[in-house]
Structure 1
């Protein structure tokens, strides 16, 4: 194989694919990126056996062929080459090494054969739909923070994506929860989602997808099979296994009888929570919220370091109450809200609280209280 391409094109593609490669691997070839010529382009592919990413980039192909080389090493080399450089990738006759040549720089990397590189077979896809990258990015951004990192509850380690009928209209809904908080976002369902099964997209796939949909005005094609999902975003194809589990009935934890309404300035509230939580301990980041007529008092007590209180004006006319929340969870939710005010719907100190974005009816957040 002998190809010449722009350093910027190669770096952009490597930046997309090398992130999938785990730093430590018991299978040596999984540390590598596959490089293969395809017509007048170079195809790059990386996998961790659960997730596979492929991207083709324009190249001058002088001799067709393919090989695999260490992904992170190649990325670092290309990243450190000067802007505007032309890069030549050339495999030796024996196929055991590949030269990376740019100007006076010459690197030689050990190769493993392309034929040994694992392929993530996708099978046949039963559902196919398209959506704008901005719409998909919104669904991910609004829910991703609530994904559980607890490996024993593996079915919560991702975003649950499913089609649901709301007031006679079909919606595509994303839900994530870790048992302490829940985030739900939805949009009008694209054509092709009718009858799609509910799927759980793994946390790592969500994280990679979030980076790929940063470019606005790009159409994302989504394909679904029983066990896999494939996203095509421009020249990038991301194929992932789905989490094989049943997502819990999240509707049961969304309260419907919360009648105490608290309206508060979102930014002022977030800053005040951040300030008072400075004295909280790392283990118990509880903030006590005391609500009375038009006034909210935030209190944090830490026996080891001290205490903090702050008062905020608010719109509240129900019975006075006290409730505690994890400060980090409050800040995470506040960061997702886009409206000037946050609307809390409360019941009592021991029941889940609903948080609404006043400018976005398609999102909803639930927070479980803490004892304080």
Structure 2
């Protein structure tokens, strides 16, 4: 292997794949990136055995070859070199040499033949979305995914595809986020798959919010996402996602219409003095007023009042203030609607101009 590549292009390619590389690995080779120089391109691949990202970049290829090199060291060296530099990368026996100007670095390598690869499974369902559509579906729901829950199927995001819509749903058992894209998908059979948390976060990082077409190829246990010059392959979480539609409240008789910015700002201020562990906030609704109250073990208290439109009898209810803020952050419009039934029933929050995306928050006892 002997290639020449602009520093900016190599750094961009490394940044695309390095998110997959864990800092602590059971197998030393998983700390490395597979580098394959062929024809006029360099292919970089990183994997953790569950998720794999492959990026292709144009290079001046003087001699083909392949090897694996330490991912973090490659990235840090490339980032430390000056902008506009050209990097020469050459493999001699089991050493990889990087040269740029008067800088020279020699890295240890591991045999490319030992590098594990996720083999592509046969595609059963194909879905094409734009970058903007996929990024919105992910960003409006991913914050509600569980972290390290024993119910492993909650540590991910449900992707549901039907003939006339695509949905993403996430829940950690205390709140639920659902986003919906209404459009003809071309699929003939309804499909539900659970994308792992790490896969969702990497897609969120890699996908640009533009009109570039992205193809998702789905099989029973794998998803492959083809972006421009980049391919992400991931195993799926096995298991049955909860029946989320049963969780979404219906028939609520109390409705709040509020200015998203004002209510969000008031909640943020009140949250400063909430209990750091439980993050509880008390909401009191009466007439056209929403009273927001928090307190903590140090006997510190905060109170805010915001004008809202409220239909229904006076009501007092407790929520996790962080969950309410996450829901309001995910709403795009200036006005939100919150539907409530009683002090011990879940609340439903959505954009007043678009009810396709919905957020359910369970109440707290305060």
TM-score class, shorter-chain normalisation, is: over 0.9
The residue aligned with 1:244 is: 238
CA distance in 2, matches of 1:121, 1:138: 29
Are residues 1:353 and 2:351 paired? no
Please list, as runs of the form range in 1=range in 2, the aligned pairs for 1:185-264 lying within 5 A after superposition: 185-264=179-258
Measured on the aligned residues, the alpha-carbon RMSD in Å equals: 1.1
Question: Cα distance, 1:106 vs. partner?
Answer: 0.3
What stretches of structure 2 of length at least 5 have no aligned partner? none
Number of equivalences: 366
Mark the CA change 1:173 to 1:78 in structure 2 (over 3 Å): closer, same or farther.
same
CA contact (8 A) 2:160 2:167 kept: yes
CA contact (8 A) 1:55 1:235 kept: yes
CA distance in 1, matches of 2:65, 2:330: 47
Question: Cα distance, 1:82 vs. partner?
Answer: 0.6
SS, match of residue 304 in structure 2: strand
Which of these residues, 105, 113, 125, is aligned with residue 107 of structure 1?
Answer: 105
CA distance in 2, matches of 1:233, 1:196: 24
Deviates more, 1:188-197 or 1:97-106: 188-197
Which of these residues, 274, 285, 289, is aligned with residue 291 of structure 1?
Answer: 285
CA distance in 2, matches of 1:52, 1:76: 21
Question: Cα distance, 1:215 vs. partner?
Answer: 4.8
Please list, as runs of the form range in 1=range in 2, the aligned pairs for 1:1-372 lying within 5 A after superposition: 1-92=1-92, 94=93, 96-164=94-162, 170-372=164-366
Question: Cα distance, 1:322 vs. partner?
Answer: 0.1
CA contact (8 A) 2:162 2:187 kept: no
Deviates more, 1:105-114 or 1:215-224: 215-224
TM-score normalised according to structure 2 size: 0.98
SS, match of residue 262 in structure 2: helix
Question: Cα distance, 1:196 vs. partner?
Answer: 4.4
TM-score normalised according to structure 1 size: 0.96
CA contact (8 A) 1:127 1:192 kept: no
SS, match of residue 123 in structure 2: coil
Question: Cα distance, 1:164 vs. partner?
Answer: 4.0
Deviations along 1:327-346, whole A, 9 cap, x unmatched?
Answer: 11111111111111110010
CA distance in 2, matches of 1:141, 1:72: 27
Question: Cα distance, 1:195 vs. partner?
Answer: 1.0
Question: Cα distance, 1:130 vs. partner?
Answer: 1.1
CA distance in 1, matches of 2:146, 2:106: 42
Deviates more, 1:266-275 or 1:189-198: 189-198
What stretches of structure 1 of length at least 5 have no aligned partner? none
CA distance in 1, matches of 2:297, 2:11: 51
CA distance in 2, matches of 1:123, 1:11: 30
CA contact (8 A) 2:167 2:179 kept: yes
